[in-house]
């Protein structure tokens, strides 16, 4: 992508409305624009990152055996009257009427709709287990939308729903998602800690919030330091192995971790003082086993091996991609801007032509741009006639992992400079050597 033809509206000034660093950097680097309170457009730079986040989420959902579909944002109120949540869900739900005066709503979540899909088609235990997910916009009329897309009113959610014949089966489905989440957050460059969450009237211990530690987090969290070193499940993990899923779950739930709502002071104080971690965190995912809470009122039953009808056991599993993007920035930035982990960076590298219009600089930049592109890399080529200083600042701000700097002095020797955005390390190489290093 040539910057001169791209749409990357960088802001020079710090936007006043941004209270936290991720919001400031997302506005300054032209990733998002607020359209009305808590409702955002994703501009091209932001959209690229969001797509990469979604791709990783999707790959890990698929790996664990979940199947993607797509449900609508608008739902009929009838379904929610069946489950009893139409009245129970308060002002967070945006209620609308269509031209026939039929009550509709903008979905804040999809338990009712997926249960309706399930009951319409699945009649036998032989079709179980089943886990269906989608990545779709939600709307919650939050009382206090803030921090940009971290807590917005319209936001993207990956929500998966599992269906099993038995409670034991549902617990295995739960642990599969638990392991998939560990892999997902790790691939996004984050260390997320699963913390026991409130299960309300359903009871049991099968609800976890996945929390990223960050000073600007809205939750107060308490956990054991050991979490920092626990292993992430490998790529070839067998998600069908009940024992395997159990052992991952057992390790990751073996030491103390809780948000303030579930905090047990005595249990926390029992940890050696040097091993206690008390911090702030951002909830990026939430998984929940809720048994027959929806299958019962909505009549989602299957015939079991015994020939009898059984209510299905369900769980739901959410991740917020539009919250993850700022969460990654909170975890990875410096005073000059964003530092993207390679897995979600909007571009793999940026070529900075320090003197556009200079014959040697242009020729070398074009050569690099073509070769990197041909090798399948996503490259941003800053071919504008801005001052070099402006270009350097912009490249640091947008946080692309590698900067390839083409300047008149070094190119006279056939050389360019590579700068690693994260470490700041610089290296001078011939164009050839630079290409070898980047393409490998
Ligand atoms: P919170 O406690 O932060 O309000 P929640 O518990 O209501 O979130 P869930 O219903 O568990 O959220 O939703 C699943 C995921 O969706 C959350 O873990 C989060 O990543 C994301 N999410 C929820 N609300 C928002 C929001 N207002 N803006 C952006 N992402 C959100
Ligand atoms: Mg939650």
Q: For ligand 1, is residue 283 a contact (CB within 6 Å)?
A: yes
> What is the atom index within ligand 1 of the atom nearest the CA of 210?
18
Q: What is the residue with the minimal CA distance to atom 22 of ligand 1?
A: 320
CB neighbour class for 97 (10 Å; exposed up to 12, middle 13-18, buried from 19): exposed
pTM of the model: 0.97
Q: What is the residue with the minimal CA distance to atom 27 of ligand 1?
A: 151
| CA–centroid distance, residue 286 to ligand 2 (Å) | 5
* Whole-number pLDDT of residue 205: 75
* Whole-number pLDDT of residue 228: 85
CA atoms within 13 A on the CB side of 131: 27
| CA–centroid distance, residue 319 to ligand 1 (Å) | 8
Classify 25 as helix, strand or coil. helix
| CA–centroid distance, residue 158 to ligand 1 (Å) | 11
* Whole-number pLDDT of residue 200: 75
Smallest-distance ligand from the CA of 155 = 1
- Which of 146, 140, 144, 158 lies closest to 22 in space, CA to CA? 146
CATH of domain 3-338: 3.30.930.10
Determine the Cα–Cα distance for residues 41 and 254; give it in Å rounded to an integer. Answer: 41
Q: For ligand 1, is residue 142 a contact (CB within 6 Å)?
A: yes
Pairing of strands 349-353, 337-338: unpaired
Q: For ligand 1, is residue 419 a contact (CB within 6 Å)?
A: no
Q: For ligand 1, is residue 140 a contact (CB within 6 Å)?
A: yes
Smallest-distance ligand from the CA of 110 = 1
Domain extents for the chain? Answer: 3-338, 349-439
Q: Cis (ω within 30 of 0) for the bond into 374?
A: no
Determine the Cα–Cα distance for residues 197 and 210; give it in Å rounded to an integer. Answer: 9
Query: What are the per-10-residue average pLDDT scores of the chain (440 residues)?
Result: 98 92 98 98 98 98 98 97 94 97 98 98 98 98 96 98 98 98 97 90 83 92 92 97 98 94 94 94 97 96 98 98 98 97 98 98 98 98 97 98 98 97 98 95
And the tokens for 235? Answer: 């790529």
CATH of domain 349-439: 3.40.50.800
Secondary structure in 3-state letters for 35-87: EECCEEEECHHHHHHHHHHHHHHHHHHHHCCCEECCCCCEEEHHHHHHHCHHH
Q: What is the residue with the minimal CA distance to atom 23 of ligand 1?
A: 320
| CA–centroid distance, residue 118 to ligand 1 (Å) | 24
- Which of 372, 345, 399 lies closest to 21 in space, CA to CA? 399
Instruction: Report the Cα–Cα distance between both ends of the chain, in Å, rounded.
Output: 21
* Whole-number pLDDT of residue 281: 96
What per-residue string of b and e applies to 411-435 under the rule 16 or more CB within 10 Å gives b?
Answer: beeebbbbbebeeeeeeebebeebb
Determine the Cα–Cα distance for residues 276 and 225; give it in Å rounded to an integer. Answer: 6
And the tokens for 6? Answer: 């791209």
Look-up: residue for tokens 């073996």? 254
- Which of 162, 155, 107 lies closest to 294 in space, CA to CA? 162
């Amino acid at each position: 992508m040539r910057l001169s033809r791209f749409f990357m509206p960088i802001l020079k000034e710090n936007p006043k409305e941004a209270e936290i660093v991720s919001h400031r950097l997302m506005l300054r680097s032209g990733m998002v624009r607020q359209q009305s309170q808590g409702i955002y457009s994703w501009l091209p730079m932001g959209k690229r990152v969001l797509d990469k986040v979604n791709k990783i989420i999707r790959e890990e959902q698929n790996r664990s055996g979940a199947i993607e579909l797509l449900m609508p944002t608008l739902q009929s109120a009838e379904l929610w009257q069946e489950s009893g949540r139409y009245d129970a869900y308060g002002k967070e739900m945006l209620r609308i009427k269509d031209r026939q005066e039929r009550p509709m709503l903008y979905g804040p979540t999809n338990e009712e709709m997926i249960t309706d899909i399930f009951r319409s088609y699945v009649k036998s235990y032989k079709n179980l287990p089943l886990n269906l997910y989608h990545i779709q916009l939600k709307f919650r009329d939050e009382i206090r939308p803030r921090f940009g897309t971290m807590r917005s009113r319209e936001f993207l959610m990956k929500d998966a729903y599992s269906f099993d014949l038995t409670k034991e089966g549902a617990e295995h489905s739960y642990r599969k998602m638990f392991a998939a989440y560990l892999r997902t957050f790790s691939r996004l460059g984050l260390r997320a800690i699963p913390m026991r969450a409130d299960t309300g009237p359903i009871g049991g211990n099968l609800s976890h919030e996945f929390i990223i530690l960050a000073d600007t987090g809205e939750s107060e969290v308490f956990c054991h330091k050991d979490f920092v070193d626990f292993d992430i499940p490998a790529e070839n993990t067998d998600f069908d192995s009940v024992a395997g899923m159990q052992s991952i779950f057992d390790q990751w739930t073996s030491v103390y971790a809780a948000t303030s709502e579930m905090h047990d002071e005595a249990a926390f104080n029992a940890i050696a003082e040097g091993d206690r971690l008390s911090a702030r965190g951002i909830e990026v995912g939430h998984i929940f086993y809720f048994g027959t809470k929806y299958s019962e009122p909505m009549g989602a039953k299957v015939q079991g091996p015994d020939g009898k009808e059984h209510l299905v056991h369900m769980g739901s599993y959410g991740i917020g991609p539009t919250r993850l993007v700022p969460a990654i920035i909170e975890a990875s930035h410096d005073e000059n801007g964003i530092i993207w982990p390679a897995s979600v960076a909007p571009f793999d590298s940026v070529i900075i032509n320090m003197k556009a219009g200079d014959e040697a600089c242009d020729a070398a930049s074009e050569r690099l741009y073509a070769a990197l592109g041909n090798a399948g890399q996503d490259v941003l080529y800053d071919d504008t006639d801005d001052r070099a200083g402006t270009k350097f600042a912009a490249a640091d701000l947008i946080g692309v992992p590698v900067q390839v700097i083409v300047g008149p002095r070094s190119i006279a020797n056939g050389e360019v400079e590579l700068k690693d955005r994260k470490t700041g390390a610089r290296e001078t190489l011939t164009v050839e050597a630079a290409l070898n290093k980047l393409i490998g």
